[in-house]
């Protein structure tokens, strides 16, 4: 079945969105069409969090909605089909402020107030998760988890102490989860019934198409090769807001069930095209904990709740945070077209800066990540000017296999930010084979790594700095492994 409108609920109210409004940014629609001006826009890049809202979406196996905070400024209405949007206005509980809102008042967490709705939404999202979805009962928000939940929100008035004090004071027993407030059987059945439909919205200048199967998506790509595939628009949203891009034909894969699939199968993690980075991070915590650790500082929760692994791969940035790991893991990209599917090892997927081994009629349908043997060593590094919510200056992945004498029998090293694409370092890898885990071996490998890379100077760092990082990161890895070995002996 095909429909020509989007279905969204906003603070529990049903809306059908047609025509030009389907191409509005979510923040513009909320503010100018619905008059919900609590959602603020400051940076229009997803960096400050003032536009944070809470999105409720369907998840397989759940009888209720999964709520999570996202940035409204870089989200478009056509990406919000079959979701429930909760704004700061919708957080009131029976006409009274909810515990998060009241805590911000009690602890003087606002001055100018421009950032405050975003903080309240982000904090309410975290409180909702702890109160409703936590595996164990939680009565108060833990300080470090609260800090992590607010990494996507910036304030320049209060300092952060009053805001954190507000969060730490919240009594979660008094917090009514959004699922209990809003998830009526009528809304859930309405969203579920519409989720299986394809969507096509045509205006005089624009066309949006969201098919419900991969075959239709591939056929549309053949008919309309100029179509841009929107996964989450965490990058495209910025380009559109800054008037650097204006796509008029858009394809979205959110109505395709298999695009949301995330599973472990035959020793691999299989990641669908619409799986968010947050979902992947949670899934990998017990499976590839080092990758999950890196994902914690990939970006803010609002970005990770929208962004996808496939989007990070397709963007083809030489400083994409996930790529060095995927390179050393020998991940494979599944490409789908009307001619069938084929897999490409990610080490051969990038042929030049922003150039992919991908035909115009193909789309990325899945990513296959091999599970690493438990006795292998994996270390992932991200160097940036800030710890949280920052674009990388340099990234690295180091994977090592050892024999019983702790001699290196296998090595895979990938660097980002040192060339037009993420780079494997085959000479450096070969130099480590047969070597012990000592300072001399990694110091020599670091000298060789400098010869394999071609960094440039840009606004984030000089080429000389990146050369030095390429050498030092191997020395850092060795020092960490030596310290880990020493601790193991002590204990």
Q: Is residue 2 part of a domain?
A: no
Same domain, 213 and 166: no
Same domain, 284 and 317: yes
Looking at residue 485, its pLDDT comes to 64
Same domain, 180 and 190: no
Q: Is residue 42 part of a domain?
A: yes
Domain closes at, from 129, 155, 184: 184
Q: Is residue 7 part of a domain?
A: no
In this structure, is the dihedral angle defined by the CA atoms of residues 272, 277, 283 and 286, taken in order, positive or negative?
A: positive
**Mean pLDDT value of segment 403-421:** 96
Q: Which residues contact 464 (CB under 8 A, 6 or more apart)?
A: 457
Quick one: pLDDT band at residue 231, thresholds 50, 70, 90?
Answer: confident
Q: Which residues contact 61 (CB under 8 A, 6 or more apart)?
A: none
Q: Is residue 1 part of a domain?
A: no
**Mean pLDDT value of segment 459-482:** 96
Q: At 248, give phi and psi (nearest 5°).
A: -110, -15
pLDDT tens, 183-205? 999 999 999 999 999 999 999 99
In this structure, is the dihedral angle defined by the CA atoms of residues 225, 19, 45 and 257, taken in order, positive or negative?
A: negative
pLDDT over threshold 90, residue 63: no
Same domain, 69 and 156: yes
Residue 185 burial (10 A CB sphere; 0-12, 13-18, 19+): exposed
Same domain, 70 and 127: yes
pLDDT over threshold 90, residue 351: yes
- Residue 67's domain is classified under what CATH number? 3.10.20.30
Mean of all residue pLDDT scores within the chain = 94
Looking at residue 488, its pLDDT comes to 43
Q: Is residue 441 part of a domain?
A: yes
pLDDT over threshold 60, residue 43: yes
- Residue 288's domain is classified under what CATH number? 3.30.465.10
- Give the torsion through C-alpha atoms of 185, 190, 193, 197, to 10 deg: -160
Our count of domains for the chain comes to 4
Quick one: pLDDT band at residue 289, thresholds 50, 70, 90?
Answer: very high
Among 64-73, 107-116, 209-218, the least confident range: 107-116
Same domain, 441 and 410: yes
Quick one: pLDDT band at residue 134, thresholds 50, 70, 90?
Answer: low
pLDDT over threshold 80, residue 285: yes
**Mean pLDDT value of segment 28-47:** 96
**Which percentage of the chain shows pLDDT scores above 90?**
90
pLDDT tens, 371-398? 999 899 999 999 999 888 889 999 999 9
**Which percentage of the chain shows pLDDT scores above 70?**
98
Looking at residue 490, its pLDDT comes to 40
**Mean pLDDT value of segment 235-262:** 94
Domain closes at, from 118, 152, 184: 184
Quick one: pLDDT band at residue 206, thresholds 50, 70, 90?
Answer: very high
pLDDT over threshold 50, residue 407: yes
DSSP β-ladder status, 355-356 and 363-370: unpaired
pLDDT over threshold 60, residue 268: yes
Secondary structure, 3-state, the chain: CEECCEEEEECCEEEEECHHHHHCEHHHHHHHHCCCCCCCCCCCCCCCCCCEEEEEECCCCCCCCEEEEEECCCCEHHHCCCEEEECHHHHCECCECCHHHHHHHHCCCCCCCCCHHHHHHHHHHHHHHHHHHCCCCCCCCCHHHHHHHCCCCCCCCCCCHHHHHHHHHCCHHHCCCHHHHHCCHHHHHHHHHHHCCEEEEECCCCEEEECCCHHHHHHHHHHCCCCEEECCCCCHHHHHHCCCCCCCEEEECCCCHHHHCEEEECCEEEEECCCEHHHHHHHHCCCCHHHHHHHHCCCCHHHHCCCEHHHHHHHCCCCCCCHHHHHHCCCEEEEEECCEEEEEEHHHCEEECCEECCCCCCEEEEEEEECCCCCCEEEEEEECCCCCCCCCCEEEEEEEEECCCCEEEEEEEEEECCCCCCEECHHHHHHHCCCECCHHHHHHHHHHHHHHCCCCCCCCCCHHHHHHHHHHHHHHHHHHHHHHHHHHHHC
Same domain, 177 and 194: no
CA distances from 86 to 34, 268, 436 (A): 13, 36, 56
Q: What domain range includes position 416? A: 375-491
- Residue 403's domain is classified under what CATH number? 3.30.390.50
Same domain, 204 and 290: no
CA–CA separation, 66 vs 64, rounded Å? 7
**Strand partners for 76:** 25
Looking at residue 52, its pLDDT comes to 98
Same domain, 483 and 396: yes
Residue the block writes with tokens 């270390």: 379
Domain closes at, from 131, 150, 184: 184
pLDDT over threshold 60, residue 489: no
pLDDT tens, 307-342? 999 999 999 999 999 999 999 999 999 999 999 999
pLDDT tens, 144-167? 999 999 999 999 888 799 999 999
Same domain, 125 and 143: yes
Same domain, 290 and 251: no
Q: Report the half-sphere exposure of 159 (CA within 13 A, side-chain side).
A: 4
- Pick from 4, 168, 181, 170: nearest CA to 90: 181
CA angle 436, 438, 440 (to 5 degrees): 105
């Amino acid at each position: 079945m095909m429909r020509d409108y989007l279905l969204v609920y906003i603070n529990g109210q049903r809306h059908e969105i047609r025509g030009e409004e389907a191409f509005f940014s979510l923040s513009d629609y909320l503010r100018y069409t619905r008059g919900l001006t609590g959602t603020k826009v400051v940076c229009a890049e997803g960096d400050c969090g003032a536009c944070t809202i809470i999105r409720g979406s369907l998840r397989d196996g759940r009888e209720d909605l999964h709520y999570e905070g996202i940035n409204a400024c870089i989200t478009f209405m056509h990406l919000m089909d079959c979701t429930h949007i909760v704004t700061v206005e919708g957080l009131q509980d029976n006409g009274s402020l909810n515990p998060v809102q009241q805590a911000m008042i009690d602890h003087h967490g606002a001055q100018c107030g421009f950032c405050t709705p975003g903080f309240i939404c982000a904090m309410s999202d975290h409180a909702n998760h702890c109160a409703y979805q936590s595996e164990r009962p939680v009565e108060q928000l833990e300080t470090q988890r609260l800090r992590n939940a607010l990494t996507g929100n910036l304030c320049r008035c209060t300092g952060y102490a009053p805001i954190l004090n507000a969060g730490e004071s919240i009594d979660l027993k008094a917090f009514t989860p959004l699922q209990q407030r809003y998830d009526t059987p009528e809304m859930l059945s309405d969203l579920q019934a519409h989720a299986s439909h394809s969507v096509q919205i045509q205006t005089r200048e624009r066309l949006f198409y969201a098919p419900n199967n991969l075959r239709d998506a591939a056929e549309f790509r053949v008919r309309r090769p100029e179509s841009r595939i929107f996964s989450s628009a965490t990058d495209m949203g910025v380009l559109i807001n800054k008037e650097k891009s204006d796509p008029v034909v858009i394809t979205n894969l959110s109505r395709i069930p298999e695009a949301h699939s995330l599973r472990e199968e035959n020793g691999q993690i299989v990641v669908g095209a619409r799986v968010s980075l947050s979902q992947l991070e949670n899934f990998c915590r017990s499976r590839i904990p080092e990758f999950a650790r890196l994902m914690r500082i990939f970006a803010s929760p609002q970005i990770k709740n929208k962004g996808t692994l496939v989007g990070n791969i397709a963007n083809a940035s030489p400083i994409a945070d996930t790529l060095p790991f995927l390179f050393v893991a020998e991940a494979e990209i599944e490409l789908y077209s009307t001619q069938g599917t084929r897999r490409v090892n990610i080490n051969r997927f990038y042929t030049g800066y922003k150039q992919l081994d991908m035909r115009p009629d193909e789309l990325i349908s899945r990513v296959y990540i091999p599970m690493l043997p438990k006795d292998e060593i994996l270390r992932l590094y991200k160097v940036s000017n800030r710890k949280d919510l920052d674009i990388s200056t340099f990234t690295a992945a180091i994977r090592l296999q050892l024999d019983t004498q702790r001699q290196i029998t296998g090595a895979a090293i990938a660097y980002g930010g040192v060339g037009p694409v993420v780079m494997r370092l085959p000479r450096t890898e070969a130099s480590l084979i047969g070597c012990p885990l000592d300072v001399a071996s990694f110091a020599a490998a670091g000298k060789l790594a400098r010869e394999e890379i071609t960094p440039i100077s840009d606004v984030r760092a000089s080429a000389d700095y990146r050369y030095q990082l390429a050498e030092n990161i191997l020395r850092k890895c060795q020092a960490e492994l030596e310290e880990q070995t020493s601790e193991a002996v002590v204990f």
